[in-house]
Amino acid sequence: MPLINKFDQTPIQLHTKIPPALVTPSCLLYGPLDARFEDLPIPTLDNNPHDVHFWLHGGIPTYVSPTHPLTMGHEASGIIHAIGTAVTTLQPGDKVSIEPGYPCRRCTSCKSGRYNLCPEMKFAADPPFVHGTLTKYFRVPADFCYKVPECIKLEEAVLIEPLAVAVHAVRLADVRPGQKVVVFGAGTVGLFCAAVAREFGASVVVSVDVVEGRVGFARGFVGEGVGRGVVRDRDLEVEGDVERILNEGELRDNGGADVVIDASGAEMAVQTGVFVLKKGGTYVQAGMGKRMMEFPIAEMCEKEVVAKGCFRYGAGDFDLGVDLVRRGRVVLEGFISRVFPFEEATEAWEAARRGEGIKMVIQGPRL
């Protein structure tokens, strides 16, 4: 298990009395809009082989509180600092993208190849027991670190995690050459879903978002000839949005979209997505929305829509994400709008909340 000196995506109060050589500066969330920078003990190598939502709402109140603070962050990259005695695939100094969760490897889900559904998953910044990656040193099993080539900058390697989410969603959708795809949400995951769908052969990819700047970026990111964009009108009912998407994406003659991926979690997008689909189409829910919402069940039944949930990533998703970037099929340059120093982490979350730019990245501690 390697120890990583890291670079994370996702004002200083030091009150610990640990010797300076044995601490790792960390950013902890104590509650809504209450983040503090503290020194924690450096994790040791033993015998073991956005988040904007948490920033605004304080995570799950039962678990994140003034008495149970949580270290933030799960999208991360870093430099290997030290490795366990059994590690042979990594060396100190290696640049890696970090898969921020690791499973038990023993349960039915793990053994069936769906380790993302493991009930004992240890996922970064997942309360109450697992702290996140916004710290100087972070410990993780070696097989959940992915070496990245020199062509990928350390700050860009942060983006492999959301790219892996997109790879998982597109694989679940079984996107095939010549198909027409609609992606709701042009945030990080939505943009990557659109680009990966193109790489899987989609002839048309329509990105839908309420922010015009994001839609414009999506058109260019997906590429001329394939990328389309629709700025959703908040004042329109579902029927109006459906008509605009069908027209803009040249989907009407196709009977609708072959595949819809929702990366927004917005109720209106979920409803619109089902109506945009052709008969027999595939719907994948990649965005985490509220637990209960209105869903057009009758439309889904009459069209015999194949609907799938999507949770994080699974076997091969990170590897494919790294390979797509290595071969220049997904270009990360220009994706990051601004890099914030560790001490300005809260400013990065505020910028993300305001919808500024495309992606904000936070540097790991330099101390």
> What's the CATH code of the domain at 256?
3.40.50.720
Determine the 3-state secondary structure of 187 from DSSP.
coil
Q: What pLDDT, on the 0 to 100 scale, is given for residue 49?
A: 44
267 shares its domain with 179 = yes
260 shares its domain with 302 = yes
Q: What pLDDT, on the 0 to 100 scale, is given for residue 291?
A: 86
In a domain, 252, yes or no: yes
In a domain, 209, yes or no: yes
Boundary-marking domain end, from 294, 309, 324: 309
> Which helix (H) or strand (E) segment is 156 a member of?
helix 154-157
175 shares its domain with 140 = no
CATH of the domain at 73: 3.90.180.10
**pTM for this entry:** 0.88
In a domain, 328, yes or no: no
Q: What pLDDT, on the 0 to 100 scale, is given for residue 4?
A: 66
Burial of 29 (0-12, 13-18, 19+ CB in 10 A): buried
302 shares its domain with 182 = yes
Q: What is the DSSP string of 68-131?
A: B-EE---SEEEEEEE--TT--S--TT-EEEE--EE--S-SHHHHTT-GGG-TT-EETTBTTTB-
Query: What is the distance, to the nearest Å, from the Cα of residue 143 to the centroid of all Cα atoms in its chain?
Result: 19
Q: What pLDDT, on the 0 to 100 scale, is given for residue 290?
A: 85
Determine the 3-state secondary structure of 219 from DSSP.
helix
302 shares its domain with 180 = yes
221 shares its domain with 180 = yes
142 shares its domain with 238 = no
Q: What pLDDT, on the 0 to 100 scale, is given for residue 33?
A: 86
In a domain, 153, yes or no: no
275 shares its domain with 356 = no
Cis omega before residue 100 (within 30°)? no
56 shares its domain with 130 = yes
- Structural domain total, the chain: 2
Structure tokens at 188: 């990080």
In a domain, 276, yes or no: yes
Q: What pLDDT, on the 0 to 100 scale, is given for residue 152?
A: 93
Q: What pLDDT, on the 0 to 100 scale, is given for residue 58?
A: 57
In a domain, 102, yes or no: yes
Question: Which residues form the domain of 54?
Answer: 23-84+91-147+335-362
Q: How far apart are CA 252 and CA 296, in angstroms?
A: 20
Q: What pLDDT, on the 0 to 100 scale, is given for residue 17?
A: 38
111 shares its domain with 217 = no
271 shares its domain with 349 = no
In a domain, 11, yes or no: no
The region, left, alpha or beta by phi > 0 then psi within -120 to 50, assigned to residue 326 is: alpha
Q: How far is CA 280 from CA 269, 274, 302, in A?
A: 19, 11, 9
Of 136, 60, 38, 115, the residue nearest 316 (C-alpha): 115
Q: What pLDDT, on the 0 to 100 scale, is given for residue 250?
A: 84
Tell me the average confidence (pLDDT) per consecutive run of 10 residues in the chain, 367 residues long. 57 34 83 88 64 55 72 92 92 95 96 96 86 91 94 95 98 98 97 98 96 94 94 87 89 96 95 96 94 91 97 97 96 92 93 89 84
Q: What pLDDT, on the 0 to 100 scale, is given for residue 56?
A: 62
